[in-house]
Chains A and B, each alone.
Chain A
Amino acid sequence: MEPSEFDQIVRGKLQEEHQLHHREIDASKPFVWAAIQANKTLVVPWYYLAAAAILFLVCSTFLFFNLQEQNRSEIDFLAAKVERLKNKTNAVEIIARKNQQLDLLCSEVEALEHSLTQVNVNPNPTIISKQIVYQTDTVFITQTEYITQYLPAIKEEKIEEPQVELDISADNYTTSDLIYPDFNPSTRTTPKKENTSVKVKIDTLSSN
């Protein structure tokens, strides 16, 4: 048999009706159709895509602006907080300075209280020495008693003032001084200098 004859017979046989695979064909037909339906690619018109793209752009822009606004408000809020914290720090510093001043004042008050208690303890001035000077007058005899007293300094500033040493010893007085106490003021002790020591004149023997 010629190959062409063989091919022709086979081709003719294959075009004949036959029942081969008819069961498989009937069974698989609905499933294959369902699979084709599921496998179909969705064809979206270009204007749908364009509309979707524009919508997406608008939405994303809106979202972006919203986020930016939110960030800005958050930054403002944080800046305000930072400013408030800075102010609080200043207030703390002021309070600390005031506390220091208060401490200083307290210590001063304590010192003053201490000095006052000392004054209260010694209410009477301390007598350092006692001298009796007799004055002879032509008519009257006057006895003057000078008492040197210690006066405690109340304020420290007063201590710093120049202190005049008063010579209160009886040896420095001449007879004329004793007779005429007001005659030579340069050599005389002025009882007016009462800053540190005071001479009190007591006329115990004075008449009239």
Chain B
Amino acid sequence: MKELILNEEKLIERCVEKDRHAQESLYNQFYSDLYLIAMRYLSDHHEAEDAIILSFTKVFKNLRKFNFQGKGSLGKWIRTILINEAIRLLKKRRQLHFNDEVHQLKLENSEANGLEQMQAADIFRMIEQLPAGYRTVFNLHVVEGFSHKEIAALLKVSESTSKTQLKKARNSLMNRINQEKAYGTV
């Protein structure tokens, strides 16, 4: 019978000692979250799987170097690895295109109620349907909390491009929400 390892620090120690059960436990603990994050960035099942495989390989390889800083630090570290892998895959497959055209963008729907009434899965699906450039910047800034400077450094674009992409992403997302609301699907 498999032992449930609840202590994150102990889990890390045993993973470092190449304990297969501990490694599987760590994988099971983070797989669902990582899959959803990968889907948010890559919006493709197979690419998400590839990103997770590469990320966990890196995690198990570099876990000895990981500095444990309290509960949640391991999850944050693993998520950062996954996001980097996802962006690397996007760059590798030349899916990241940033349009620098600056338009006066404003959110069409100013009502917060419509957005709040939406299901999480619907918002999630809408984010997945955004173009790769919009989706990436939106995820990095809104969900992960990266600043435009960090995003610019990570994606090797200018800060203004990051800002523009974020505005476009918001606008596009709001348009989709309005459309769905108009068709009565939400």
Query: Could you tell me which A residues sit within 8 Å of B by CB distance?
Result: 1, 3, 5-7, 9-11, 13-14, 16-22, 24-25, 28-29, 31-33, 35-36, 39-41
Contact = CB atoms under 8 A, between A and B. Distances in A.
A18 B35 contact: no
Contacts of B104: none
Contacts of B123: 10, 13-14
Contact of A28 (B49, B54, B143): B49
Contacts of B142: 7, 10-11
Contacts of B167: 3
Nearest to B108: A1
Nearest to A39: B57
17 contacts: A1-B109, A3-B167, A5-B112, A6-B107, A6-B170, A7-B142, A10-B123, A13-B123, A13-B124, A14-B40, A16-B120, A17-B120, A18-B121, A20-B121, A32-B53, A36-B53, A39-B54
Given A6-B174, A14-B143, A41-B61, A1 B121 contact: no
B119 A18 contact: yes
Interface in B49-91: 49, 52-54, 56-57, 60-61
A21 B35 contact: yes
B186 interface: no
Interface of B: 24, 27-28, 31-32, 35-36, 39-40, 45, 49, 52-54, 56-57, 60-61, 107, 109-112, 115-116, 118-121, 123-125, 127, 141-143, 167, 170, 173-174
A14 B122 CA distance: 10
A14 B27 contact: no
B115 A32 contact: no
Nearest to B45: A24
B27 A36 contact: yes
B35 A19 contact: no
A13 B114 CA distance: 13
A19 B49 CA distance: 18
Nearest to B59: A36
B24 A20 contact: no
A115 B120 CA distance: 140
